[in-house]
Amino acid sequence: MKKILPPLLLALALVCGFTACGSPDFITAGLKVELTSIERTDDGAMRIAWHVRNPNVFPYLLHRTSSKITLDGTLVGTLTDEAPLGVPAQSEANRSAVLKPVNPAAVAALNQAVARGSAAYRVDTVLTVLLLDDKFEKIPLNLSGTVPVTAAAK
């Protein structure tokens, strides 16, 4: 048994070297950026709450996130977060930000979503993940779903 173990480990290392074992897609498999709520503020902007869900057994340090947000098929804007975000293993990390609608169509989509109480969303995100020391990897993620939408109490 001892004689077969080193060649078996070598073969496994070679297979991983020639496949996706070392690629960022494999390393970050399962990461998701989801919107958790949207609130229209008194000045017409949107307070968007979102989180990064990490089902993996190791944590991540996100150096930067950039998310293009679409509500009911209408682009409402892009959120960019330059603050580092630690995402624990098998957990999630929450953030929120204020986003000004990019045009009148975005304002209309937001108002319609407030009237319904929810909206279908699509979020196209690029996560910049710190892998080692100064090595960063950009990971594109896409997700669709439904998010509750409310208006700030006056």
Q: Are 6 and 49 within one domain?
A: no
Q: Are 6 and 71 within one domain?
A: no
Q: Are 68 and 131 within one domain?
A: yes
Tell me which of 9 and 120 has the higher pLDDT.
120
Range of the domain at 18: 1-29
Rounded to two decimals, the pTM is 0.78
Q: Are 35 and 25 within one domain?
A: no
Strand partners, 90: none
The letter for the amino acid at 147 is V
Question: Which CATH number does the domain housing residue 130 bear?
Answer: 2.60.40.1820
| Mean pLDDT across 64-84 | 94
Q: Are 24 and 36 within one domain?
A: no
Q: Tally the domains of the chain.
A: 2
Q: Are 54 and 37 within one domain?
A: yes
Task: For residue range 76-110, list pLDDT tens digits in order.
Answer: 999 999 999 999 999 999 999 999 988 999 999 99
Judged against a pLDDT cut of 90, whether residue 11 lies above it is answered with no
Q: Are 42 and 17 within one domain?
A: no
Strand partners, 6: none
Q: Are 66 and 139 within one domain?
A: yes
Q: Are 41 and 88 within one domain?
A: yes
Question: Which parts of the chain are beta strand (E)?
Answer: 32-40, 46-54, 60-71, 74-81, 85-87, 91-99, 118-132, 135-151
